[in-house]
């Protein structure tokens, strides 16, 4: 019964079981109750709760006369499995009731009214019916196993379709006899080898196309009028500071005179001063002061820099910057409680792979936010046929990858660390997270983290709360880092870190396909907003 138990949480209308002579009495519509008969008195069976499962055929989606895409077909297949599980439970119920009948026949009190010959005849009939019922259970279990194989195969088709960058195909729903399904799956698997992503090392230099985006590099609160923020982006050193008008600027972190790091100096009247000989540069990179020598026309490299919604953005690419910047603010009703910046020794794509994957939480984060989480029998990420956003099932978490390197997530909680409900709308309180993975170098990422809550506003005013949030964030990251660093080491030695993607890897796979298309210079990037509206 392992296949039946595995499928009990899932759900094509396959009707393949005969009714038992010990059929249950109907209760409420769509369900049934269980009763055992002893003489003329009806007693409710203790097995009732196990079999009191709603009949699922009423929930099967209606697609009459319509053409299904692969995602709708998978949903119908799930209802098929749920129906088969429900049918199998009724078959098992038949066995339970037959066994109770055997007990009734063998009841010593019944011997006063029945002859030995009559009891033998009844037992022989019951034995035959039990054998039929057991055979029926084995058939039901086989059907569930076949249906699960078909569902897994359909999910493979989805991954293969994505990996091959094919357009979404439409297929008509079909139902083949269970006896041929297993052969069909095996034949198709031999005919179409599983496709894989190839993300293996060593890590190469970043493609120039990846630079042509606005990148958030710092929080506004960290850039005071007389301070500077040194950063590394795509293996180039930069320094950010505020000019005379208070607007941020980003210049090369290397003095034109003797290549001294400018961030070792200071900011004076909106200019950054080199600590070596005092040369001063404005936010456009022009040297405005050269103490102890004649002023010359000297300029260092600068890139577009902009401030929006509490963040400092830069455009490191060679193309002209776009006119608009994406919004990364939390939804209405949320208050920002923490803004943290960390430097991590991992390639930014590996960190994004990790952040876009929630299925690892019950195994990796057992000492922090996922402590006590049960391991679901099936984890899914549900998303439009074209899109980089969706929600996790069974976890009440909405998630979106926002190009080029941002992850937004909203988590439904009752209190920090505890999950409740089936989706975020059913939860009373929520935590919103922003992760920005800035590609500093081939083996280093600058992580910007923003946390917002729609409850407990007083937490924002507790002294030193920022340090507590940072401590918790570092604990969570450390649980991930030991694994991701291991991946990075093996990738640099030639291993493929995306060798066998499965269904819950959907969002991570789509990120990798988006990045691959970008680096190959595709005219239309996959999962873009244009595709989402088609």
CA angle 358, 363, 367 (to 5 degrees): 100
Eight-state DSSP code of residue 458: G
With b for 16 or more beta-carbon neighbours within 10 A and e for fewer, the 211-229 pattern comes to: bbbbbbbbbeeebeeeebb
For the beta carbon of residue 320, count every other beta carbon within 10 angstroms. Answer: 9
Q: Which residue has the higher pLDDT, 397 or 124?
A: 397
Does residue 512 register a pLDDT over 60?
Answer: yes
Does residue 232 register a pLDDT over 60?
Answer: yes
Q: Supply the mean pLDDT for the chain.
A: 79
Domains 208-308 and 332-520 share a fold: no
Contact present, 171 and 465 (Cβ < 8 Å): no
Eight-state DSSP code of residue 432: E
Integer Cα distance of 118 and 72 in angstroms: 55
Average confidence (pLDDT) over 213-228:
96
Integer Cα distance of 264 and 279 in angstroms: 13
Q: What are phi and psi of 448, to 5 degrees?
A: -105, 130
Does residue 50 register a pLDDT over 70?
Answer: no
**Span 305-329, pLDDT tens digits:** 999 999 999 999 999 999 999 999 9
**Span 142-179, pLDDT tens digits:** 676 666 666 666 665 665 565 554 434 433 444 444 44
Q: Which residue has the higher pLDDT, 86 or 67?
A: 86
pLDDT score for 376: 84
Integer Cα distance of 140 and 17 in angstroms: 8
**Span 464-486, pLDDT tens digits:** 898 899 999 999 999 999 999 99
48-57, 94-103, 194-203, 425-434 — which is least confidently predicted?
Answer: 48-57
Domain range 332-520, CATH architecture: Alpha-Beta Complex (3.90)
Segment holding 237, helix H or strand E: strand 236-242
Q: What are the sequence ranges of the domains in the chain? A: 56-161, 208-308, 332-520
- Residues 184-189: contacts with CB within 8 Å, 24+ apart? 185/146, 185/149, 185/150, 185/153, 188/153, 189/153
Contact present, 534 and 526 (Cβ < 8 Å): no
Q: What is the CATH number of domain 208-308?
A: 2.102.10.10
Q: Which residue has the higher pLDDT, 183 or 271?
A: 271
pLDDT score for 29: 37
pLDDT score for 373: 80
Integer Cα distance of 66 and 62 in angstroms: 9
CB-count exposure of residue 142 (10 Å: 0-12, 13-18, 19+): middle
Does residue 124 register a pLDDT over 50?
Answer: yes
Contact present, 250 and 305 (Cβ < 8 Å): yes
In this prediction, what percent of the chain has a pLDDT beyond 90? 47
Segment holding 219, helix H or strand E: strand 215-219
Eight-state DSSP code of residue 345: S
Would you state the structure tokens that stand for residue 486, as one six-digit string?
A: 């291991």
Most confident of 118-127, 160-169, 421-430: 421-430
Q: Give the model's confidence band at 16: pLDDT under 50 very low, under 70 low, under 90 confident, else very high.
A: very low
Average confidence (pLDDT) over 374-395:
85
Across the strands, what pairs with 340? 449
Contact present, 36 and 102 (Cβ < 8 Å): no
Does residue 194 register a pLDDT over 60?
Answer: no
pLDDT score for 17: 35
pLDDT score for 20: 38
38-42, 44-48, 370-374 — which is least confidently predicted?
Answer: 38-42
Cα distances (Å, whole numbers) of residue 261 to 128, 230, 239, 256, 281: 89, 9, 9, 10, 13
Q: Which residue has the higher pLDDT, 284 or 106?
A: 284
Q: What are phi and psi of 80, to 5 degrees?
A: -60, -45
Does residue 383 register a pLDDT over 50?
Answer: yes
Name the H helices within 239-358: 348-355
Average confidence (pLDDT) over 97-105:
72
Does residue 141 register a pLDDT over 80?
Answer: no
CA angle 472, 476, 478 (to 5 degrees): 115
List the beta strands (DSSP E) in 374-455. 380-382, 389-393, 397-402, 406-415, 418-419, 429-441, 444-453
Contact present, 337 and 462 (Cβ < 8 Å): no
Would you state the structure tokens that stand for residue 165, as one six-digit string?
A: 């960058």
Integer Cα distance of 138 and 305 in angstroms: 67
Q: What are phi and psi of 180, to 5 degrees?
A: -100, -10
Cα distances (Å, whole numbers) of residue 251 to 152, 192, 312: 52, 52, 13
Please state the three-class secondary structure of 27-55 as a single string: CCCCCECCEEEECCEEEECCCHHHHCCCC
pLDDT score for 172: 40
List the beta strands (DSSP E) in 269-366. 271-273, 280-281, 287-289, 302-303, 305-308, 311-314, 335-344
Q: Which residue has the higher pLDDT, 414 or 443?
A: 443
């Amino acid at each position: 019964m392992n296949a039946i138990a595995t499928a009990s949480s899932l759900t094509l209308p396959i009707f393949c079981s005969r009714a038992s002579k010990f059929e249950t009495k109907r209760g409420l519509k769509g369900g049934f109750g269980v009763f055992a008969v002893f003489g003329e008195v009806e007693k409710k069976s203790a097995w009732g709760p196990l079999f009191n499962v709603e009949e699922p055929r009423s929930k099967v989606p209606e697609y009459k006369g319509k053409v299904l895409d692969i995602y709708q077909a998978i949903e119908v297949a799930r209802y098929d499995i749920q129906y088969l599980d429900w049918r199998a439970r009724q078959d098992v119920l038949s066995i339970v009731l037959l066994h109770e009948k055997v007990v009734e026949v063998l009841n010593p009190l019944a011997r006063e009214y029945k002859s030995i010959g009559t009891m033998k005849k009844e037992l022989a009939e019951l034995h035959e019916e039990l054998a039929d019922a057991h055979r029926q259970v084995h058939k039901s279990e086989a059907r569930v196993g076949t249906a699960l194989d078909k569902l897994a195969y359909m999910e493979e088709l989805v991954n293969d379709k994505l990996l091959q960058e094919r357009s979404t195909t439409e297929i008509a729903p079909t139902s083949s006899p269970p006896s041929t399904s297993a052969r069909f799956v095996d034949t198709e698997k031999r005919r179409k080898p599983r496709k894989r992503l190839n993300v293996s090392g060593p890590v190469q230099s970043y493609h120039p196309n990846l630079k042509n985006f606005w990148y958030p590099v710092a929080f506004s609160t960290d850039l005071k009028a007389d301070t500077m923020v040194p950063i590394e982006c795509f293996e180039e050193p930069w320094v950010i500071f505020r000019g005379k008008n208070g607007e941020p600027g980003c210049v090369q972190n290397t003095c034109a005179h003797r290549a001294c790091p400018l961030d070792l100096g200071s900011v004076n009247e909106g200019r950054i001063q080199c600590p070596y000989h005092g040369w001063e540069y404005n936010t456009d990179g022009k040297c405005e002061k050269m103490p102890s020598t004649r002023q010359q026309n000297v300029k260092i490299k600068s890139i577009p820099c902009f401030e929006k919604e509490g963040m400092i953005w830069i455009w490191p690419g060679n193309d002209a910057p776009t006119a608009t910047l994406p919004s990364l603010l939390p939804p209405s009703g949320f208050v920002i409680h923490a803004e943290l910046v960390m430097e991590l020794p991992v390639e930014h794509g590996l960190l994004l792979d990790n952040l876009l994957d929630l299925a690892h939480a019950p195994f990796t984060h057992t000492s922090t936010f996922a402590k006590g989480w049960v391991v679901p029998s099936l984890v899914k990420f549900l998303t439009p046929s074209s899109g980089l956003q969706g929600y996790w099932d069974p976890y009440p978490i909405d998630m979106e990858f926002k190009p080029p390197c941002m992850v937004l997530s909203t988590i439904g909680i009752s209190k920090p660390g505890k999950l409740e409900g089936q989706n975020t709308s059913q939860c009373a309180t929520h935590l919103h997270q922003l992760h920005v993975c800035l590609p500093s170098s081939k083996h280093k990422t600058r992580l910007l983290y923003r946390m917002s809550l729609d409850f407990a506003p007083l937490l924002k005013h507790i002294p030193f709360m920022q340090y507590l949030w940072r401590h918790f964030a570092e604990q969570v990251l450390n649980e991930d880092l030991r694994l991701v660093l291991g991946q990075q080491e093996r990738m640099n030695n030639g291993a493929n870190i995306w060798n066998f993607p499965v269904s819950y890897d959907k969002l991570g796979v789509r990120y990798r396909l988006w990045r691959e298309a970008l680096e190959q210079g595709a005219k239309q990037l996959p999962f873009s907003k244009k595709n989402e509206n088609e």
